[in-house]
Amino acid sequence: MPPSVATSDLTKRFPGITAVNRLTFEVHAGEIFGLVGPDGAGKTTTLRMLAGVLSPDGGSATVAGADIAREPEAAKARLSYMPQRFGLYEDLTVAENIRFYADVFGVSREEREARARQLLDAAGMSPFTTRSAGKLSGGMKQKLGLVCALIHRPLVILLDEPTNGVDPVSRRDFWRILYSLLNEGIAILMSTSYLDEAERCHRVALLHQGRMLYCETPVELKRRLHGAVVSIVGHEARRIRAALGGAAGVLNALLVGDGVHLVVDDAGRRIPELQAALQTAGLVFDRLEEIEPTIEDLFVAATSKERKP
Amino acid sequence: MLRRLRGMLVKEFIQVFRDTRTRTLLFAPPIIQMLIFGYAATLEVRHIPVAALDYDNSQVSRELLSRFTASPYFDVRAYLNDRREIGDLIDRGEVTVALQINGGFAQDLRKGQPARLQVIVDSSNSNTALVAVGYINQIAARYAQEFQRTQLLRTSLFASSQIPSIVLERRPLFNINFDSQWFFVPGVIGNLILVMVVSLTAFAIVREREIGTLEQIMVTPIGRLEFILGKTLPFFLIGLFDTALVSLVGTFWFGVPFRGSIGVLAIGSILFILCMLGIGLFISTISRTQQQAMVSGFFFNMPAITFSGFGTPISSMPEWLQTLTYLNPLRYFLEILRGVYLKGVGLDVLWPQMVGMGLLGSIMLAISVARFQKSLD
pLDDT in tens, B221-230: 888 888 999 9
Q: What is the pLDDT of residues B3-31, one digit of tens each?
A: 888 999 999 989 888 878 878 888 888 88
Residue B156: band (very low, low, confident or very high) from pLDDT cuts 50, 70, 90: low
Q: Measure CB to CB from residue B4 to each of A55, A96, A106 and give the nearest one.
A: A106
- Mean pLDDT, range A171-197, rounded to an integer: 87
Residue A28: pLDDT band (50, 70, 90) is very high
Query: What average pLDDT score do residues A237-254 get?
Result: 85
Query: What is the pLDDT, as a whole number, of residue B17?
Result: 85
User: What is the tens place of the pLDDT at every residue in B232-241?
Assistant: 999 999 999 9
Bigger pLDDT: A172 vs B355: B355
Report which of residues A143 and A301 the model is more confident about: A143
Contact B215/A83, CB-based, under 8 Å? yes
State the pLDDT at residue B158. Answer: 65
Q: Which residues of A touch B (CB under 8 A)?
A: 48, 51-55, 73, 76-77, 79-81, 83, 85-92, 96, 99-106
Query: Is the predicted pLDDT of residue B333 greater than 90, yes or no?
Result: yes
Rounded average pLDDT over A204-230 = 85
Range B358-365 average pLDDT: 94
**Chain A residues with CB-CB distance to B216 below 8 A:** 81, 83, 86-87
Task: Check if the beta carbon of residue A42 is closer than 8 Å to that of residue A19.
Answer: yes
The average confidence (pLDDT) of chain A is 88
Of B10, B219, B377, the CB nearest to A51: B219
Mean pLDDT for all residues in chain B: 88
Q: Do B374 and A53 touch (CB under 8 A)?
A: yes
CB nearest A48 (choices: B14, B217, B376): B376
Is residue A305 pLDDT above 70, yes or no? no
* Mean pLDDT confidence for B247-252: 90
- Contact call for B213 and A89, based on CB within 8 A: yes
Percent of chain B with pLDDT over 90: 39
Query: Nearest-CA residue of chain A relative to B215?
Result: A87
Does the structure show a pLDDT above 90 at A22? yes
Assign A308 a pLDDT band (cuts: 50, 70, 90): very low
> Which of A52, A99, A102 shows the shortest C-beta gap to B219?
A52
Which pLDDT score, from 0 to 100, does residue A35 have? 94
Domain with CATH 3.40.50.300 in chain A: 5-222
Cβ-defined contact of A53 to B218 (cutoff 8 Å): yes
Return the number of CB contacts < 8 Å for A and B.
79
Strands in A250-256's sheet, in edge-to-edge order, are A250-256, A259-264, A228-233, A287-291
> Which three-class secondary structure string do you get for chain B?
CHHHHHHHHHHHHHHHHHCHHHHHHHHHHHHHHHHHHHHHCCCCCCCEEEEEEECCCCHHHHHHHHHHHHCCCEEEEEEECCCHHHHHHHHCCCCCEEEEECCCHHHHHHHCCCCCEEEEECCCCHHHHHHHHHHHHHHHHHHHHHHHHHHHHHCCCCCHHHCCCCCCCCCCCCCCCCCHHHHHHHHHHHHHHHHHHHHHHHHHHHHHHHHCHHHHHHCCCCCHHHHHHHHHHHHHHHHHHHHHHHHHHHHHCCCCCCCCCHHHHHHHHHHHHHHHHHHHHHHHHHCCCHHHHHHHHHHHHHHHHHCCCCCCCHHHCCHHHHHHHHHCHHHHHHHHHHHHHHHCCCHHHHHHHHHHHHHHHHHHHHHHHHHCCCCCC
pLDDT above 60: residue B270: yes
Q: Do A79 and B219 touch (CB under 8 A)?
A: yes
Specify the pLDDT at position B159: 67
Provide, as residue numbers in chain A, all residues whose Cβ is less than 8 Å from the Cβ of B213: 87-89
Residue A190's SS3 state is strand
For the domain covering A5-222, report its CATH number. Answer: 3.40.50.300
ipTM reported for the complex, 2 dp: 0.78
pLDDT reported for residue B314: 87
Q: What is the CATH number of domain A226-292?
A: 3.30.70
**Domain-wise residue ranges, chain B:** 2-41+179-371, 48-162
Percentage of the residues of chain B whose pLDDT score is greater than 70:
98
The mean per-residue pLDDT over the stretch A239-265 comes to: 85
Nearest Cα residue to A49 out of A61, A40, A41, A39: A61
- CA nearest A53 in B: which residue? B375
- Whether A103 and B19 lie within 8 Å, measured CB to CB: no
Contact B15 A55 (CB under 8 A): no
To the nearest whole Å, the CA of B203 is away from the closest chain A CA by 15
The predicted pLDDT at position B157 comes to 67
* pLDDT over threshold 70, residue A262: yes
User: What Å distances lie between residue B360 and B101, B202, B279, B331, B349, CA to CA?
Assistant: 58, 18, 10, 12, 19
Residue A87 to residue B217, Cβ atoms within 8 A: yes
CB B308 within 8 A of CB B161: no
Q: For A81-113, write each residue's pLDDT tens digit.
A: 998 888 899 999 999 999 999 999 989 999 999
Domain B48-162: homologous superfamily in CATH: abc type-2 transporter like domain (3.40.1710.10)
Q: Residue A200's pLDDT is what?
A: 87
Q: How would residue A306 be classed by pLDDT, with cut points 50, 70 and 90?
A: very low
Residue B255 burial class via C-beta count within 10 angstroms: exposed 0-12, middle 13-18, buried 19 and up: exposed
**Cross-chain CB nearest to B3 (options A51, A96, A103):** A103
Q: Which residue of B has its CA nearest to A81?
A: B219
Whether the predicted pLDDT of B272 surpasses 60: yes
Write the pLDDT tens digit of every residue in B294-330. 999 999 999 999 899 888 888 888 999 999 999 999 9
Q: What does the pLDDT average to over A8-20?
A: 93
Residue of A53, A97, A141, A153 to mutate for B, most B C-beta atoms under 10 A: A53
At B360 the pLDDT is 95
How far is residue A155's CA from residue B100's CA, in Å, rounded to a whole number?
Answer: 91
Yes or no, beta carbons of B7 and A91 under 8 Å apart: no
Q: Where in chain A is the domain with CATH 3.30.70?
A: 226-292
DSSP character for A36?
E
